[in-house]
Amino acid sequence: DAKTTQPPSMDCAEGRAANLPCNHSTISGNEYVYWYRQIHSQGPQYIIHGLKNNETNEMASLIITEDRKSSTLILPHATLRDTAVYYCIVGRGGTSYGKLTFGQGTILTVHP
Amino acid sequence: DAGVIQSPRHEVTEMGQEVTLRCKPISGHNSLFWYRQTMMRGLELLIYFNNNVPIDDSGMPEDRFSAKMPNASFSTLKIQPSEPRDSAVYFCASSPSGPSTDTQYFGPGTRLTVL
């Protein structure tokens, strides 16, 4: 599976958009981009995933570049409860074995 | 929906003792995963089951670790004998079959301390 690169930490003001980048330059054609987050002392939580089109759900938006070598997770109106470690993961998805390899992620701190 | 249920939430034991962690996946999910998280190594996949059958146990650290899934609604992770380096948070996750196999739903975890 392709590896991902994320900044170790980011800050965001409450109410502003949080834009979390991820590089996955070795992604292959059948691999999806997944985002999970882990709030302190809790299990990881699925946020969103995509293949090549931009995606949006009630939690966030995912923007994938045309060459698919990078993506950005957008939390449109960050709140203090969004403070967490955010993981960008590349996985095969589909009907194949859904193995996810978690890296170190980005620690997002939302401040008042 | 109750989500993934894990028990116990906290376990403190002494070196050499047997430890059994339990997991109840979300009803209807076909895949179950056991992970371990430490500060040093992050979140690691230990073993993966599909339709109650172990598919990939390459992440199981040693023979001291074993996992079973006797039916679709229950799984156990056993450590025998336990060692201090096994201290970690152990997460169980489940996912549905089909196109969303990588959408995993995690339980709250079991914090294991081996003295």
Q: pLDDT by residue (tens digit) across B19-67?
A: 999 999 999 998 899 999 999 989 999 998 988 999 889 899 889 999 9
Measured over the CA atoms of residue B17, residue B50, residue A55 and residue A23, the dihedral's sign is positive
pLDDT of residue A101: 82
Q: Does A101 touch chain B (CB under 8 A)?
A: yes
**Amino acid, single-letter form, for residue A66:** E
- Are A34 and B102 a contacting pair at CB < 8 A? yes
| Residues A7-53 pLDDT 10s | 999 999 999 999 999 999 999 888 889 999 999 989 999 999 999 98
B99 touching A (Cβ < 8 Å): yes
Q: What confidence score (pLDDT) does residue A102 get? A: 87
The distance from CA A74 to its chain's CA centroid, rounded to whole angstroms, is 9
**In B, which residues are within 8 Å of A38 by CB distance?**
43
Q: How many CB pairs under 8 A join A and B?
A: 61
Cα separation values, A101 from B41, B50, B102, Å = 12, 18, 11
CA within 13 Å, CB half, A99: 15
Average pLDDT of A63-79? 96
Partners of B74 in beta bridges: B71
